[in-house]
Amino acid sequence: MKKIIVTLLILSFNLTFSQDYFEGKNLYCKSENPEAMKLFNLGIETLYLNKSLAPKYLKITSNIFFKAYKTDTTFCDAIFFTGYALRLLNDEKVIACYIMADSLSKKALEFKINLASEGLRLGQDKSLNIARKKYNEIITLFPENPEGYYGFALTSPIFGDVDKGLENINIAIEKYKLSNPKLKDEVIFLKGVLLSQNKKYDEGLEYLEKCYSTYKKDENFKIHYSLCLLKVSEIKNDQKMRQKAFKFYEQIENKQQISEDIKSELKF
């Protein structure tokens, strides 16, 4: 599995639930067990009271949610909130909780999005496979939602299918135009990266220029912008463009993490 610097172009890292959900309303698997609901509501109250997100209180909150889940093991929302509290603590057990919530609910879009995001954040082979699987499930179960296509595209440099990634980012762009036009720069950035990795350097440069002001300090941007500038400069025999490509290459702080296939192309 290929590794790249992941500067999290991950739209779905931000939890996608409504405010109502975080107030304990509109639950996916509301428990019929009064004790489980009492514990769950106490967990919600504790979460809201803990404005400072102090680790000690977050641990207490996660334990309350987990106790609600243990009281009723069909209560997917309780195990999800257990994971959410653990996520705020950067606890590695969060992914296990998200997996359980997703398996109990089956078709909760938000559970799949957040599980996929956690898999990407961990960046291990097993968790990356989980992320790709969940993005594929989102595409299948929620074809009108752009995040499945975006997630597939985001993981395509890792899995080595950047051609399919480019197909999926094009679908995502069209769907984001309808659902969330504010995400324009993020999807344009990813398309520029995928065009670059598909060796479509001229088009890649065009897309990266569109989001230059937003991402010019980002490591992934510097890598792919430098690569596109270099390759286009070779075609046009443009020394100024070549110098600009080298300038951005020199600004890359983590050159040792550049993937080997890109590194082999960045020859000055």
For the ranges 2-6, 147-151, 259-263, the one whose mean pLDDT is highest: 147-151
Q: What would the mean pLDDT of 1-22 be, rounded to a whole number?
A: 53
Which of 165, 157, 108 has its CA nearest to residue 137? 108
Q: How far is C-alpha 74 from the chain's CA centre?
A: 27
Sole residue written with tokens 């051609």: 163
For the ranges 183-192, 245-254, 258-267, the one whose mean pLDDT is highest: 245-254
- Residue 237's SS3 state is coil
Q: Are 175 and 187 in contact (CB under 8 A)?
A: no
Write the DSSP symbol of residue 174.
H
| 21 confidence band (pLDDT: 50, 70, 90) | confident
Q: Are 98 and 83 in contact (CB under 8 A)?
A: yes
d(CA 168, CA 184): 15
| 24 confidence band (pLDDT: 50, 70, 90) | confident
Report whether pLDDT(222) > 70: yes
CA–CA distance from 242 to each of 115, 202, 260 (Å)?
A: 42, 14, 21
Per residue in 45-65, pLDDT (tens digit) is 888 876 566 788 889 999 999
Torsion of CA 206, 208, 214, 219, to 10 degrees: -160
d(CA 145, CA 234): 40
- Residue 198's SS3 state is coil
Q: At a CB cut-off of 8 Å and minimum separation 6, what does 216 contact?
A: 222, 225
- Residue 171's SS3 state is helix
Write the DSSP symbol of residue 12.
G
What pLDDT, on a 0 to 100 scale, did the predictor assign at position 8? 41
Q: What would the mean pLDDT of 58-83 be, rounded to a whole number?
A: 96
- Residue 40's SS3 state is helix
What pLDDT, on a 0 to 100 scale, did the predictor assign at position 18? 64
- Residue 182's SS3 state is helix
HEC per residue, 41-69: HHHHHHHHHCCCCCHHHHHHHHHHHHHHH
pTM of the model: 0.86
Q: What would the mean pLDDT of 19-42 be, rounded to a whole number?
A: 91
Report whether pLDDT(99) > 90: yes
Across 15-24, 100-109, 233-242, 253-262, least confident range: 15-24
Q: How far is C-alpha 88 from the chain's CA centre?
A: 16
Q: What would the mean pLDDT of 262-267 be, rounded to a whole number?
A: 92
